[in-house]
Structure 1
Amino acid sequence: MLLRKYLSLLGIGSAQVDLVLDKETYKPGEKVEGYFRIKGGTIEQQLKRIECDLVMDNERTGNEEVIHTSTILTSTTITSDGDSRFPFAFRLPDDLEVSTESRSYGFKTRLFFKEGVESVDHDEIQIAW
């Protein structure tokens, strides 16, 4: 048990997050809905918060721009066999430019625990008219 705890502190066997969205293509100003699915790791972990950034990647410059951050504060315990869901809703800005070969958008989700390494997920979305 102690070995599993130390491994999860290093990120091995810790809880994992997946942002599940209703669809992949959106229009500027549209509401994005879905849920965060959190699957327990090898040990019980205390979740402190969930952060989700809407990011724009510019392939030409290699820059990633955070457009907006959404944070859920919690003190939920994620059990080793747990499968939790937290609702997600976000309204896209009205002034987003459409996705192109050099401009892409996505949601970068991070779990922060009382102890242990953060868990990260990245989900691409398309912005179209």
Structure 2
Amino acid sequence: MILRKYMSMLGIGSAKIDLQLPKLQYTPGENVSGIFLIEGGTIDQQIKRIECDLIMTSPDEEREEVIGTSTILSTKVIESEETNKMDFNFLLPKDIPCSAPDRIFQFKTRLIFNEGVKSADLDKIKIIQ
């Protein structure tokens, strides 16, 4: 049991998060709704918070800009091998630019625990008119 605890603190067998969205294309001002799917690891872990940033990246210039952030504070314990779902909602700004070859949008999600390394997930979306 102690070995599994230390392994999860290193990221081996720790809980994982996945943002699941019903579609990949959105318009400016639209509400993006989906779910966070949280799968427990080999031991019980206490969630500290879930952070989800909408990032605009420019691959050519290797630059990132945070468009907005959603944070959920929690004291929930994810039991080993347990699967949980949490609602996700994010209102896109009305003045957000559309996607282009040099402008990529993605949600960067992080599951942060009281102990152990964080779990991360990236989900690309496309902004269209």
Residue type of the alignment partner of 2:94: D
Distance in 2 between the 1:12 and 1:65 partners? 30
**Structure 1 runs, 4 residues or longer, greater than 4 Å off:** none
Distance in 2 between the 1:61 and 1:116 partners? 33
Residue type of the alignment partner of 1:72: I
Residue type of the alignment partner of 1:17: I
Partner of 2:113: 113
Number of aligned residue pairs = 129
Secondary structure of the 2:115 match is: coil
Partner of 1:86: 86
Unaligned runs of 5+ in 2: none
TM-score normalised by structure 1 residue count: 0.98
TM-score normalised by structure 2 residue count: 0.98
Partner of 2:128: 128
| CA RMSD of superposed structures (Å) | 0.6
Percent identical pairs in the alignment equals 54
Partner of 1:38: 38
Q: How big is the shift at 1:96?
A: 1.0
Q: Deviations over 1:46-100 (max 9, x none)?
A: 0010000000001221101111111000100001111001100111011111111
Q: How big is the shift at 1:8?
A: 0.3
Unaligned runs of 5+ in 1: none
Distance in 2 between the 1:15 and 1:60 partners? 34
Partner of 2:52: 52
